[in-house]
Amino acid sequence: MTVDLSTRYLGLEIRSPIVASAAPYNAQPEMARRLERAGVGAIVLPSLFEEEILAEEIELTRSLEQGTEVFAEALDYFPTARSFTGAADRYLDALERVKASTTIPIIASLNATSPGGWVSCARRIQDAGADALELNLYHVAADPRWTAADLELRDLEVISDVRSATAIPLAVKLSPFYSAFANFAASAADAGADGLVLFNRFYQPDLDLESIEVIPRVALSQPWEMRLPVRWIGILRPQLDPDVSLAATSGAHSGADVAKGLLVGADVVMMTSALLRHGPDHVRSVEAELREWMSAHEYTSVSELRGSASAATVEDPSAFERANYMATLHAWAATPG
């Protein structure tokens, strides 16, 4: 049976729902080419961080001011913005090189926490040829003076600022830590997000017991982590405007995981950990497994499969919500041994 894997994400027609999510190696043209050859539908570049853009601006201002103090009259002393090669310039350069080496959509990524002048960088990313932009809103709500409503308003402001600065499709990558997630997801779409990427995986710091220091720890995901995006995409798909794209990220390692994401209503399923663990060619076996599962279950296309097990279509939609909690705990008690 022929299976059509093409799908639509952020208004882009892509050949496969398997997408390489933001990861450092995706910015290397050779790696991007290998991912394309292995069959991914699109590639998300690693994030350019708001802090990097701001540090670059501060550095640029400082060097301009130094010039003013020392040789106010010597204009050729001033470094031009073009000759200043900082993080943003390096990012744009990598984007252009990856674009030139591939034919699939390349999605740039900006990681931000606050509204501000750095947003103009989004337009530079657009001008450098990105097919879409993913805005990663990664913050930890650690300040007791900020209420949930304050933080949500700030995030919505960032989304609408980036939306106003660009015309390319905009996805927003969210954490699951919003008190009323369904409400915030709908507000993010209203603020201008064309799609939501669910979810950001938070990296928990660890303690080194010898140096007694807090150390960063990046642990690759496990397949069970896919359950969180599966639940939320299943809940949100029937409630959001059908034009709002949904991407599942966290814990997708196999063709079966991709099938689950699509079944609950994701347009694409993204992968990083599995590709870091097994290399870009892992995409081939994920795709083969997905095709095999679809054929065995008589799905001929992604559009036929997508959303066929969301909260709108399953027999018991409460299984995505609180009822599942009780059933899960009772099932544990009933398990012998």
Ligand X SMILES: Cc1cc2nc3c(=O)[nH]c(=O)nc-3n(C[C@H](O)[C@H](O)[C@H](O)COP(=O)(O)O)c2cc1C
Closer to ligand X at the Cβ: 151 or 270? Answer: 270
Single residue of 7, 16, 102, 109 touching ligand X by CB under 6 A: 109
Coil, strand or helix at 300: coil
Spell out where 231-316 has E strands.
245-248, 268-271
CB of 287 to ligand X, least distance (A): 16
Within residues 112-171, the interface with ligand X by CB under 6 A covers: 136
* Candidate segments 113-121, 123-131, 250-258, 284-292, binder of ligand X by CB under 6 A: 250-258
Single residue of 5, 14, 18, 21 touching ligand X by CB under 6 A: 21
Under 8 Å between Cβ of 273 and 253: yes
d(CA 126, CA 171): 13
Q: What is the DSSP annotation of 191-256? A: TT-SEEEE-PPPPPPEEETTTTEEE-------GGGGHHHHHHHHHHTTTS-TTSEEEE-SS--SHH
47 near ligand X, judged by CB under 6 A: yes
* Candidate segments 19-27, 148-156, 184-192, 233-241, binder of ligand X by CB under 6 A: 19-27
Closer to ligand X at the Cβ: 111 or 310? Answer: 111
Closer to ligand X at the Cβ: 22 or 311? Answer: 22
Single residue of 99, 124, 173, 306 touching ligand X by CB under 6 A: 173
* Candidate segments 146-154, 246-254, 283-291, 323-331, binder of ligand X by CB under 6 A: 246-254
CB of 336 to ligand X, least distance (A): 32
Closer to ligand X at the Cβ: 161 or 257? Answer: 257
* Candidate segments 32-40, 58-66, 248-256, 279-287, binder of ligand X by CB under 6 A: 248-256
221 near ligand X, judged by CB under 6 A: yes
Angle between helix 181-190 and helix 148-165 axes, rounded to 10 deg: 30
Amino acid identity, position 21: S
24 near ligand X, judged by CB under 6 A: yes
How many amino acids of this chain bind ligand X (CB under 6 A)?
A: 24
Closer to ligand X at the Cβ: 40 or 311? Answer: 40
Dihedrals phi, psi of 150, to nearest 5 degrees: -60, -45
Dihedrals phi, psi of 240, to nearest 5 degrees: -85, 155
Within residues 265-304, the interface with ligand X by CB under 6 A covers: 271-274, 276
Coil, strand or helix at 38: helix
Residue 228 CB neighbour total at 10 angstroms: 16
d(CA 300, CA 295): 7
Under 8 Å between Cβ of 86 and 60: yes
d(CA 6, CA 42): 11
d(CA 221, CA 201): 9
Single residue of 195, 234, 251, 265 touching ligand X by CB under 6 A: 251
Coil, strand or helix at 194: coil
175 near ligand X, judged by CB under 6 A: no
Coil, strand or helix at 132: strand
* Token couple for 62: 């400082």
CB of 235 to ligand X, least distance (A): 19
249 near ligand X, judged by CB under 6 A: yes
Amino acid identity, position 235: I
Closer to ligand X at the Cβ: 217 or 330? Answer: 217
Site for ligand X, rule CB under 6 A: 21-24, 46-47, 109, 111, 136, 173, 201, 218, 220-221, 225, 249-252, 271-274, 276
